[in-house]
Amino acid sequence: MIALLIRDLKQATRAGGGFGLGLAFFLIVTILVPFGVGPESATLALIAPGVLWVGALLSCLLSLDRVFALDFEDGSLDLLATAPIPLEAVVGLKALAHWLVTGVPLTLIAPMLGVLLNLPSGGYIWLLASLGLGTPALSMIGAFGAALTVGLKRGGLLLSLLVLPLYVPTLIFGAEALRRGTAGLENTTPLLMLAGITAASVALLPFAAAAAIRVNLR
């Protein structure tokens, strides 16, 4: 199982693997926002939590269609489906790999981008906490979407249409946790809900995703 994980990580980080694309996109979006809404610091500080969360969420989307596509195309997904490791575990590992390669880096550079958007100083710890808790859910939900669309050529756009509505609860609780924490308010509820969503997604979605993959491999 570890070997599988390492293989996926290597695949994602080698040249042409798209690593860094998500980070670059996150950066670009963050830079574009002030051009769109004006450079007024107070405005930026107000919208920074939301913009950072939306930016991270969209950046996660970028590499989702690769989660299963490469293995599907060269037939390895068939092998994995019939291997002794349960397909559900394979799905979980691929989601984990996606998180390690996309979610974690996004979370780590977010504070820098927070500076660009004038995020108040109290917010940085909550930025890390909310993204850290929420990005695994984004990867897992995204993996489910990728499993649904793996058989489609050009499934990327449909993948976004399917996944983005599923992202809404995560986004709401994540951004609220960040916003309230930044303002110094009590944010335990959204943080707990966020953790709950991540836990439930990781526990249950692999089954749905594995079912979808089996359907697509028929």
Partner 1 sequence: MSLWEYANPKKFMQTSAVVLPIFAVFALVTLLTGLVWGFFFTPDDYRQGATVKIIFLHVPAALMAINAWMMMLVTSLIWLVRRHHVSALAAKAAAPIGLTMTVIALITGAVWGQPMWGTWWAWDPRLTSFLILFLFYLGYIALWEAVENPDTAADLTSVLCLVGSVFAILSRYAVNFWNQGLHQGATLSLDAETNIDNAFYLPLLAAIAGFVSLFIALVLLRTQTEIRRRRMQAILARERLG
Residues that bind partner 1 in the complex, under the rule CB under 8 A: 144, 148-149, 151-152, 155, 158, 161-162, 164-166, 168-169, 172-173, 176, 180, 189-190, 193, 197, 205, 208, 211-212, 215-216, 218
| C-beta closer to partner 1: residue 112 or 200 | 200
DSSP notation for 69-133: HHHHHTTHHHHHHHSSS-HHHHHHHHHHHHIIIIIHHHHHHHHHHHHHTT--TTHHHHHHHHHHH
Q: How far is the CB of 152 from partner 1 (least distance, A)?
A: 6
CA distance 94 to 85: 13
Q: How far is the CB of 108 from partner 1 (least distance, A)?
A: 26
Q: What amino acid occupies position 38? A: G
Q: How far is the CB of 199 from partner 1 (least distance, A)?
A: 13
Q: How far is the CB of 165 from partner 1 (least distance, A)?
A: 4
| C-beta closer to partner 1: residue 12 or 69 | 69
| C-beta closer to partner 1: residue 101 or 212 | 212
- 10 Å CB burial of residue 174 (0-12, 13-18, 19+) is buried
